[in-house]
Amino acid sequence: MISNAIELAVELLKKEDIIGFPTETVYGLAGNIYSEKAIDTIYRTKQRPSFNPLIVHIKQIEDLNKVAIEIPESAKILAKLFWPGPLTLLLKKHASVPDRITAGKPTVAVRIPNHPVALSLLHQLDFPLAAPSANPFSSISPTSAEHVENYFGDKLPMVLDGGVCKAGIESTIVGFHDDEIIIYRLGAISKEEIEKIVGPVSLLNKNENAPEAPGMLSRHYAPKSTLFLTTNVLEQVKLFPNKKIGLLLFKQPEKEQDVACQIILSPSGNLQEATSKLYASLHELDSMQIDIILAERFPDNGLGRTINDRLERASKNR
C-alpha cells in the first residue's frame, strides 16, 4: 500500500515492522536498527545474503557518536559538508550497533538522508533506521514508491510516498584507512566533489566478492533484458536486425534510429539530469519487454563515472 501517512509509518516502525521509505537517492526498506525482528524481515524480504551489511540512517549529526566511534577528522569534515545528503561514511562501529546490521564487521555505514519525508519520519523515532535499497537482491534500485510496490506488493505493510527520488542513484560510500580515503561505491556525489574537500581519494577496485565491500558484487542493478554497454550505439544496432531494441542514450543523437524504444537521459547533456533518470529508464525499458538494451557509455568523469559503473554491472552476464 502506497501512502503518505507518516503517523502510520511511525506506528509500524515502532512495532518492529518494516516499510518502504523515500530518500533523495533511492527508496529503502527501513526498520529499527535495534530490532532483531525488523532486521530479519529486511534480509528476508530483500533476499539479501546475511554477509551483506545494512546502511544506518540517522536524523542529525549529533547522533553520529551513538553508532560510530573514533571518527577521523576528514570524516567529520565530509559529514559537515554533505549531510544531510547522499554520502555514506564507513566508520568504526559503536558496540551498541547489532552485529546483524554490520554483518559482523567492525565498521558501520551511516548517513543522514536529505529528504523532507525521511527526515520528518526519523525525527519522530528514537532509533535510527537500517535501510538497504528497496529492491530484491541484484535488481534495479527503486526511485519511486510505485517501483517499490511493484517489487514487493503485499509483502510490505506500507510504502511511505515521498515522490520521485531527486538524485535517483545510491549514495557514495567513503571509508578511511589510516591516512587513506577510499570510495567503496561511486554514487550521487562524484569523486571530484569529494577530492575538492579532502584531496586525492582512491577507488576500491572492482574485484568481485571483495570482502571489504560485500554489496559490490559485479553483477548488480540488472534489468531483465540483456544490456550491452557500448561507445558506438549506431554500429551495435546493426548487429541485432531482428531484435526488439531499446536504446539508452546520454544526449540527443545526431541520427534517429529505427528501434522499438529510445530513451534520451538528458537531451542537453547534463550529467545530473541523466543520473536522476537512469534507474527509472531501466525500469521503463524492463516493463516494455525489450529483447536487448543498448546503453551508451558516458564520459568517464564526474557523475558519468557513477553511471558507467552501474551500466557495467547491469551488463554482466547472468
Which residues contribute to the site for Mg ion (CB under 5 A)? 133
168 touches ligand TXA (CB under 6 A): no
157 touches ligand TXA (CB under 6 A): no
**Annotated binding residue at 141?**
yes
Contact pick of 9, 13, 26, 194 for ligand TXA (by CB under 6 A): 26
DSSP 185-253: E--SS-HHHHHHHH---EEPP--TT-TT-TT--SS-SB-SSEEEEES-HHHHHHT-TTS-EEEEESS--
Contact pick of 69, 197, 210, 214 for ligand TXA (by CB under 6 A): 214
Contact pick of 33, 108, 122, 285 for ligand TXA (by CB under 6 A): 108
CB of 278 to ligand TXA, least distance (A): 14
CA atoms within 13 A on the CB side of 86: 26
**Annotated binding residue at 52?**
yes
Question: Which lies closer to ligand TXA via its Cβ, residue 28 or residue 72?
Answer: 28
| Cβ atoms of 187 and 173 closer than 8 Å | yes
281 binds, among Mg ion, ligand TXA, none (CB under 5 to 8 A by kind): none
CA atoms within 13 A on the CB side of 126: 0
Query: Which of the ranges 125-133, 226-234, 238-246, 295-303 carries the binding residues for ligand TXA, by CB under 6 A?
Result: 125-133
Q: Helices 6-14 and 116-123, interaxial angle, to 10°?
A: 50
Q: With CB under 6 A as the rule, give the number of residues binding ligand TXA.
A: 27
CA atoms within 13 A on the CB side of 46: 33
Residues 250 and 152: their CA atoms lie apart, in Å, by 30
**Annotated binding residue at 111?**
yes
CA atoms within 13 A on the CB side of 293: 29
**Annotated binding residue at 57?**
yes
219 touches ligand TXA (CB under 6 A): no
Question: Which lies closer to ligand TXA via its Cβ, residue 54 or residue 264?
Answer: 54
Locus of grid cell 564526474? 302
20 touches ligand TXA (CB under 6 A): no
Residues 226-285, interacting with ligand TXA (CB under 6 A):
none
- Terminal-residue alpha carbon distance, the chain: 32
Residue positions forming the annotated binding site for L-threonine: 25, 57, 111, 131, 171
